[in-house]
Structure 1
Amino acid sequence: MKVLKFGGTSVGSAESLAQVVGILKDNQEKGTPVAVVNSALSGITNLLVEAGQLASAGDEQYKTVLSTIERRHIQMIEETMATATQAQVLEKIGAYLQQLRDILHGVFLIRELSKRTGDVVLSFGERMASYLLSTYANQHGLATEVLDARKIIVTDANFGNARVFFDKTNKNIVNHFASSSKIQIITGFIAATEEGVTSTLGRGGSDYTAAIFGSALNAEKIEIWTDVDGVMTTDPRQVKKTYSLASLSYAEAMEMSHFGAKVIYPPTIAPAMIKNIPISIRNTFNPEFEGTLISSQSSNWDFDVKGISSISEVSLVNFQGSGIMGVPNVPYRLFNALSEAEINVIFITQASSERSISFAISPEDAQRTKQVLEAEFSPELSLHKVDAIEIRHDLSVVATIGENMRHQPGVAAKLFGALGRNGINVVSIAQGTSELNISVVVEKKDLGKTLNCLHDIYFLSDETRLNIFIAGVGLIGSTLLAQMKAQYENLLKEHLKINIVGIANSKQFYFDSEGIDLDNWKALLLEKGTKGNIDGFVDQMVDLNLSNAVFVDNTSSQLVVENYQRILNNSISITTPNKLASSGDFMKLQEIKQTAMRRGVKFFYETSVGAGLPVITTLNDLLNSGDKIQRIEGVLSGTLSYIFNSFKVGTSFSEIVKQAQAAGFTEPDPRDDLNGMDVRRKILILSREAGYQMDISDVAIEGILPDSCMQAPTVDDFFTELGKHDHHFENILKEAEADGKVLRFIACMEKGKATVSLKAVGPEHPFFSLSGSDNIISFTTSRYLERPLVVKGPGAGAEVTAAGVFAEVIRIFNHLS
């Protein structure tokens, strides 16, 4: 025999009832006798709870709720029952509803709903559903009858969560099944005391009912039919890539159910485990799928962890004081007081000093817990042997569970490493000596992030997903997106999934946590984007609270930089070609770096100096290996490199600048390049990286443009003025060529003094052979004293800058993996 339990969604509609009957017929055709346990129609138990609460509060709205319950059952009758039987069924359900109406009216009059009366109210859900299921099955050719579990299951009088008397219950079950050949449709969840008073087995108790009957009947299997494909690796509402587990051991299932796995009620497992009866979790709406099998043995499993379960809302009680150290009866008094008050403890941990005991409870028990402990330890509190009872709220418990965790080094390290990298603070920790479970308490706001990052490292360890947010989708940003799209499949082969979650320009932004379509991002931003500035973009990015998050700043905006601290404080790494932070106020830069270090995330700005060239990386490698920097020289502007490499005798300087502008090498106003400020910031960044505490005012700059050019009101006026000074630049060029030299706009830092100026260099200088728009940087160090270390290559342009940013994104991935 098998015992089949069908949940509320499995009996909640005409379609689902048809599925149930199909499952029963399939077993009949195979010659397998079955007993059926069913829940109330989906949502009805909650409505009954609501009606009872309203009635006890003297609120006549309970009648409205009761009408909703009535309409729901009438609709089911109209949709499922044959016309000839509808009147009879309506009469029976009407009788149930009238009893319920009378009871609720009494509750309304006396303004009180005891636990005992509450159990009677809740019993109507299962009683009506069992009658409907039995009648429907009979009219489809099955021989069934309703078995009111109150006649069979005997409990104590702990209403709301009654304890079963198994000796009497098992005897009743065996005797009843010996006297009936029909399929029993059993009311789940409800029972009765020895005096015949209605009791309940706790919310979710229909599963327990199935286990009670299955154990008494020595069933070959207990099947729990629900609306999901078994027990999932974690909560599918929080983690999109979860999947069902083929098998669990009884111990694993107990841990999973205790810590929030909703598909099975925790007490269900014990009766089945005693008799070694397998429990199968199946999907009524996908009956071909095998679901999850719970038995004495767990199948072979490739991962350390079998599942990650959670309780979304708990409160943590901290009980501590110097007066409890080494006092043997303190834990007994504490937990005995909680037990007598019927307060359930979810999670316990104690410091080895014995000075503090922390435990998690349901938030609804928090105030009562405080009162109970203050009463029990009143003498110790008055003598300050026990500190004031501290209760923290808005917390969650997350548990990693699995038989493979036993004697497996590195499981905990992987867990805490992942949480640390994602800025998730662990409030409390517990692990039993069985090594079957590591539980952590985290802030409730971090629950989704915690589940996602742990699910990734334990179950998707062959793939790391980077959640990327991009501010600035102009030339560099759009190029970066194109590069990421082109490289997407190749990176998947390297176990990296690029997930572009948010994009923003200066006016609006667009988010998709599952990944923005890179073939259509421009239209999505334009047509579906939200109007707003960078502050709004960061607000939403922070609210999403995603794991493995990276913020890419492709702007030159100070407003974006002002958000860096907040971004890093929320454990989001940053990569940027924006120079304003790395060349801005020195102390603010240090604060940004310290925040990144403290939060375990990265702040990269390699592209702020040499676009795709490894300038900062090379400098840091030199310093980290113990080398000493003597001098740094560089042509750090691709624009100015192009201009002076193109400037030859016989050409005018103003025409060369116009050509550079037309080719897209300059800013719209070429003075933004020719004034040398960009180069000044870059040498400042390198000077700081070399260990010097400097600000922009410490970098001396020799301007190359006459005042009249700088003061020209428009770009056209600027070119007019620049043409008037062509002879000046021609004379400088001729003088250099006469000495066999070329002109280079060079930044230099030596012994903490930095300058930016136009210089003439000869063949002996490493910058002499520079061509095109290349940048070049030379490092003269203790090791590279006679022949400086030179880094040379394209230092400007969207392609190389975007490639440099992309490279830093990959570095962040390597840090996470």
Structure 2
Amino acid sequence: MKVLKFGGTSVGSIESLRNVKAIVESIDGQAIVVVSALGGLTDRLIAAAKAAADNNLSYLDDVKSMTQRHIDIIDNVVDESRRNEVKERVLALLSDLKRMYDGVYLIRHLPQMTLDIIVSFGERMSSIIVAAMIKDATRHDSLNFVKTEKWYDKSIADQKLTTELIKREFFTPFVKAIVPGFISTDKRTGDITNLGRGGSDFTAALIAAAVDAEVLEIWTDVDGFLSADPRVINDAVLVSHMSFIESMELCSYGAKVIYPPTIYPVFHKNIPIKILNTFNASAPGTLITDSPLPDDLPIKGISILKETTLFLLGGNLTRGVKNSVSRTFNALAKKGVKVFNVTRSDGKSGLSFAVASSDADTTFDLICREFAPELSDGIIALPERIDNLATIAVVGDNMRANHRTGARIRSTLTRNGLAISAFSEGASDTTMLYMIAAADANSALRQIHTLLF
């Protein structure tokens, strides 16, 4: 059995939805199809909710626009025999959505619980449309079987319970099952929640792992993983195969092909992932598996994590602060802040690490709170912070032993006048990192790509 996931661009237009129909109906046998909201709709739902909370009546125009978009799509992709039924169901949801916005407008307040309900409408409507347009398809509501629990201030998937419920949901025979991605319910309260950014990918991975799928196919708007962002590198090459770890690293450092947590459930089951193009279905795509293949490229790709902030925690760390590294990383992990170790190029001693700039203020506050006694006693100094950086990740096989490549990269960047603020070589089997000024990121990417490809 295959599990397929179609993202927003794949279900965002009449043309793309017809491609989805052809792809799914060409599958011989059972398939589970996870769909996102229509392309751009989630952002529109959020923007309208914020407008209502600001007592701005523009949300009414948004509702009208969303309504017309869904009606137009239904008229063009759903068979005439089912069209009225589908319109009725979608219009009922849009009516509920408008009542939610009206309530937000009246109280001038947008609680998180209300926003979670509002953004759920996108996948609820798209899955109804897709289920109606595909032959022998039935809709299965993920609100019934994708369950979350609270972890600090976030909702995270309860994978054990979700797996049990998925197995129960798909135990009875079906041909093509259509599932809304992203959305879920709290296992204790039943309130609508969601799996966060990239949640539809994660929904598909949870289902694939639970049903022991033969493959998880992620259908998107690119031919697969490329060696670099094609918007910056015109001659970026398609990477036909990479490992689970390599794909996770590329996406963790800026590649937008797949949401990194997606990979964990299928990785543990050794279920292959294929990245395929809804708009170019004949393209071979990228295969992601556990083991290398004989013709694998040594370097799989280069990605950029823009808006990165570098921190240095200096002072007498060895004598004055016990387990300073674990204290730092544990304090940040509890708030969901991803941290990566780097070495300062200027040779300054201390604990150097970097985070996404969106987490920089939180990071500074957490470090000051964690080390308040040591800061007060003067054992350590206030964390030094450098903003407006970008992190370039070079990902490939056995990078830990690839000292010559690291030296060549640093030499190339320096020779071309690009200052490296910090780097990491040898800390990972798959990834080398280079932090430079954000304004120089694209130039550095071009130079490294020319060097390695």
Match in the other structure for 1:79: 76
Conserved? CA contact 2:241–2:288, under 8 Å: yes
CA distance in 1, matches of 2:364, 2:381: 12
- Report the residue type matching 2:406 in the other structure: A
CA distance in 1, matches of 2:353, 2:65: 40
Match in the other structure for 1:440: 434
- Once the two structures are superposed, residues 40-87 of structure 1 have per-residue CA deviations (whole angstroms, 9 ceiling, x without a partner) of 111111112222333333333333333332232122123323445433
Match in the other structure for 1:50: 47
User: Once the 2 structures are TM-superposed, how far is the Cα of residue 111 of structure 1 from its aligned partner?
Assistant: 3.3
CA distance in 2, matches of 1:346, 1:338: 8
CA distance in 2, matches of 1:390, 1:322: 15
CA distance in 2, matches of 1:21, 1:343: 38
Match in the other structure for 1:124: 121
CA distance in 1, matches of 2:166, 2:427: 38
State the secondary structure of the residue aligned to 2:24: helix
- Once the two structures are superposed, residues 740-784 of structure 1 have per-residue CA deviations (whole angstroms, 9 ceiling, x without a partner) of xxxxxxxxxxxxxxxxxxxxxxxxxxxxxxxxxxxxxxxxxxxxx
State the secondary structure of the residue aligned to 2:389: strand
Match in the other structure for 1:3: 3
- Report the residue type matching 1:169 in the other structure: T
- Root mean square deviation of aligned Cα: 2.3
CA distance in 1, matches of 2:378, 2:152: 39
- Report the residue type matching 1:413 in the other structure: A
User: Once the 2 structures are TM-superposed, how far is the Cα of residue 432 of structure 1 from its aligned partner?
Assistant: 4.9
Computing the radius of gyration from Cα coordinates, the structure with the larger value is: 1
Which structure 1 segments of 5+ residues have no match? 460-817
Please state if 1:105 is matched with 2:98. no
Conserved? CA contact 1:57–1:111, under 8 Å: yes
Please state if 1:199 is matched with 2:193. yes
Aligned identity (percent) is 36
Please state if 1:16 is matched with 2:13. no
**Corresponding residue to 1:329 among 301, 323, 326:** 323
**Corresponding residue to 1:453 among 430, 441, 447:** 447
Please state if 1:283 is matched with 2:280. no
User: Once the 2 structures are TM-superposed, how far is the Cα of residue 4 of structure 1 from its aligned partner?
Assistant: 0.7
Match in the other structure for 1:263: 257
Conserved? CA contact 1:207–1:265, under 8 Å: yes
CA distance in 2, matches of 1:243, 1:287: 18
Match in the other structure for 1:245: 239
CA distance in 1, matches of 2:124, 2:368: 43
Distance 1:79 1:305, change over 3 A: same
Distance 1:276 1:121, change over 3 A: same
CA distance in 2, matches of 1:189, 1:56: 24
Conserved? CA contact 1:325–1:354, under 8 Å: no
CA distance in 2, matches of 1:166, 1:346: 24
CA distance in 2, matches of 1:345, 1:24: 37
CA distance in 2, matches of 1:5, 1:390: 43
State the secondary structure of the residue aligned to 2:150: coil
Match in the other structure for 2:375: 381
User: Once the 2 structures are TM-superposed, how far is the Cα of residue 281 of structure 1 from its aligned partner?
Assistant: 0.3
Alignment of 1:211-610 (within 5 A): 211-301=205-295, 303-322=297-316, 327-340=321-334, 342-349=335-342, 355-459=349-453
Conserved? CA contact 1:154–1:191, under 8 Å: yes
CA distance in 2, matches of 1:423, 1:394: 18
CA distance in 2, matches of 1:360, 1:394: 12
User: Once the 2 structures are TM-superposed, how far is the Cα of residue 122 of structure 1 from its aligned partner?
Assistant: 1.3
State the secondary structure of the residue aligned to 1:10: coil
Conserved? CA contact 1:325–1:355, under 8 Å: no
- Report the residue type matching 2:127 in the other structure: S
Q: Relative contact order (alpha carbons < 8 A, sep ≥ 6): 1 or 2 greater?
A: 2
Distance 1:159 1:374, change over 3 A: closer
Conserved? CA contact 1:161–1:201, under 8 Å: no
Which structure 2 segments of 5+ residues have no match? none
How many residues get paired? Answer: 451
State the secondary structure of the residue aligned to 1:429: strand
CA distance in 2, matches of 1:113, 1:319: 38
User: Once the 2 structures are TM-superposed, how far is the Cα of residue 196 of structure 1 from its aligned partner?
Assistant: 1.7
CA distance in 2, matches of 1:186, 1:432: 42
State the TM-score, normalizing by the size of structure 2.
0.93
CA distance in 1, matches of 2:153, 2:224: 27
User: Once the 2 structures are TM-superposed, how far is the Cα of residue 159 of structure 1 from its aligned partner?
Assistant: 9.6
CA distance in 2, matches of 1:150, 1:34: 19
